[in-house]
Amino acid sequence: MTDREEFETAVKALDSKKAEKIKVLKVGDITILANYFVIASASSVTHVKALADEVEYQLGLKGVHPKSVEGIQSSNWIVLDYIDVIVHVFLEETRDFYNLEHLWTDGEEVDISGLVTD
C-alpha cells in the first residue's frame, strides 16, 4: 500500500465517523518524520478515541498496522504512527493549543475534497 493510499484510507475513516476539520499536510520534503500528516478534530474525548479506533481498524483491514500509538490514556490527542503517514486526532481545544498546521506551515496542504463528504 502506498503512503497516498494510507492517508486516503485514514481520511475516509475519519470522515465516516464525523471528524471535523480534516487536513492532510505533505511534509516529506521538510522532515524525515513522515511523508504526510493527517490532522483531524473531535468534539469529545470519546470521539477522539472512536476516530483513532476507526483509522486503525480500516487500515488494519488492508494489512497496515501502526508502528506505535500514543495518547490513548488521555485521549486529548492520539497519534497513530504508520511511518510514512502520521495521523493526529485531537480534541478541538488541544488542536487549537498545539496548532500543528502553524508549526508545519512549510508543508503543502493536500486537496482531500474528493475524499470527504460536505
| Cβ pair 89, 48 in contact under 8 A | yes
pLDDT exceeds 90 at position 118: no
Cell numbers found for residue 18? 464525523
Cell numbers found for residue 48? 477522539
- At 27-62, the pLDDT tens digits run 999 999 999 999 999 999 999 999 999 999 999 999
- At 49-103, the pLDDT tens digits run 999 999 999 999 999 999 999 998 888 999 999 999 999 999 999 999 999 989 8
- pLDDT confidence of residue 75: 83
One-character DSSP codes across the chain: --HHHHHHHHHHHHHHTT-EEEEEEE-TTT-SS-SEEEEEEESSHHHHHHHHHHHHHHHHHTT---SEEE-TTT-SEEEEE-SSEEEEEEEHHHHHHH-HHHHTTTSEEPP-TTTS--
pLDDT exceeds 80 at position 10: yes
pTM value > 0.85: yes
- pLDDT confidence of residue 62: 97
* CATH number at 3-101: 3.30.460.10
